[in-house]
Amino acid sequence: MSAEAHDLPAWRGGWLNRLVARPGFQSWASKFPLTRSRARADGAALFDVVQGFVQSQVLMALVELDLFRRLRAGPQSAEVLGRACDVPAERMQVLLQAGAALGLLKRKRDRFALARKGAALMGVPGLEAMIRHHKAFYDDLRDPVALLRKPEETQLSQFWPYVFGGSVDEGDAAIYSDLMAQSQRLVAEDTLRAVSLTGVQHLLDIGGGTGAFLEAAGQANRSMQMTLFDLPPVVPDAQARFEAAGMADRVTIAPGSFRDDTLPEGADAISLIRVLYDHSDDTVRDLLAKVHDALPAGGRLIVSEPMGGGVRPDRAGDVYFAFYTMAMQTGRARSAGEIAALLAEAGFVDMRSPAPARSYVTRVVTARRPE
């Protein structure tokens, strides 16, 4: 095939894009019968991207004013809800109408009720807490170009100080541990759906916070011994969790930092649940080398976290989590392929990445230490 023929598809694509980018063409295409539906669908999709920030702020207001719970008992009017929330009735009407337009609420004449999507939001562990937490993220995204140019300080980097390896007081640890633990239930559910723990005798969870993942893993495999390794401030809440779950006799809590301390030994499987994407490549390389050394021959590693899509960009990993980790000022949403490459560099083999149930919740990569 000649070079000219090889470049033909790219040439055609460039020509077509230049044509589509002309305002006059867009006007014509929206009227011409053969192109009308595509042009209008593209326009609607673009406008949805443009108004995305407003949609997220409407959601924030609905959560902050606790309107989903207020409407759980039944339909209410803007006047009644406005008085309850100290918001003028006409402005409450605007918010409720917006919520209905987004499918979170539904309008019944002059009153509004909870829609199925709004009810589902309440049933997702940690989602409302994460939405409230987004105030810091939105502040960092106020000037996205400034964020791309790597400012000295961001709001999210102040909220998650542990990723830089500094000390964390108990108050800060409690805030982020609670936020992580609430959403960890969904991550645990999808991780354990993708990975079987059958045959695992002892699971070490590194950076497991207050133990939400280990609790779920212990329920899935009731004969398995477990070790939780994380910073000292999370120990009291982790102990309380395992005692309440009746697992205290099966779990050893080893306080420490994977940056500075030796990893506990004796486990035939290690899990890293939402750990790698918080950290730089150099930190990840050091951690994976430690994990490799801590595992016996044939030992298994489970990595579960939000991931980018690589050559097939993913809306969750390559938009939300990519910019979230950027605002944290450390780490990044790596693709499964990039993680597999880092694992191979550390000496792991047999990397696998099952299809995710919900990529916006987590993806999984597994590996093992060679026999």
Residues 6+ apart with CB under 8 A from 320: 306, 360
pLDDT of 168 > 60? The answer is no
pLDDT tens digits for range 296-345: 999 999 999 999 999 999 999 999 999 999 998 888 999 999 999 999 99
Mean pLDDT across the chain, nearest whole number?
87
pLDDT of 28 > 70? The answer is no
pLDDT of 7 > 50? The answer is no
Characterize 27-47 residue by residue with b for buried, 16 or more Cβ atoms within 10 angstroms of its Cβ, and e for exposed: eebeeeeebeeebeeeeeeee
pLDDT of residue 11: 45
Q: Residue range 241-259: average pLDDT?
A: 95
Q: In angstroms, rounded to a whole number, what is the distance separating the alpha carbons of residues 82 and 46?
A: 33
pLDDT of 366 > 70? The answer is yes
pLDDT tens digits for range 148-163: 999 988 988 877 655 5
* Alpha-carbon distance values, 348 to 150, 277, 296 (Å): 33, 19, 12
Q: Token pair of 151, please?
A: 């400012």
pLDDT band at 179 (very low <50, low <70, confident <90, very high): low
pLDDT band at 238 (very low <50, low <70, confident <90, very high): very high
pLDDT of 3 > 50? The answer is no
pLDDT of 242 > 90? The answer is yes
pLDDT band at 134 (very low <50, low <70, confident <90, very high): confident
Say if residue 196 is exposed, middle or buried (CB neighbours under 10 Å; 0-12, 13-18, 19+): exposed
Q: Which domains does the chain possess? A: 3-50 (no CATH), 52-122 (1.10.10.10), 144-368 (3.40.50.150)
pLDDT of 106 > 90? The answer is yes
Long-range CB pairs of 82-91 (<8 Å, 24+ gap) are: none
pLDDT of residue 123: 85
pLDDT tens digits for range 339-361: 999 999 999 999 999 999 899 89
pLDDT band at 29 (very low <50, low <70, confident <90, very high): low
Q: Residue range 241-252: average pLDDT?
A: 95
DSSP string, 140-176: HTTSHHHHHT--S--HHHHH-GGGGT----HHHHHHH
Window from 81-85, 233-237, 278-282 with minimum mean pLDDT: 233-237
pLDDT tens digits for range 186-213: 899 999 999 999 999 999 999 998 899 9
Say if residue 170 is exposed, middle or buried (CB neighbours under 10 Å; 0-12, 13-18, 19+): middle
* Alpha-carbon distance values, 232 to 134, 202, 256, 267 (Å): 27, 22, 6, 20
Q: Are 227 and 252 in contact (CB under 8 A)?
A: yes
pLDDT of residue 157: 82
Rounded percentage of the chain residues whose pLDDT exceeds 70: 85
* Alpha-carbon distance values, 123 to 69, 93, 100, 113, 150 (Å): 11, 25, 19, 17, 36
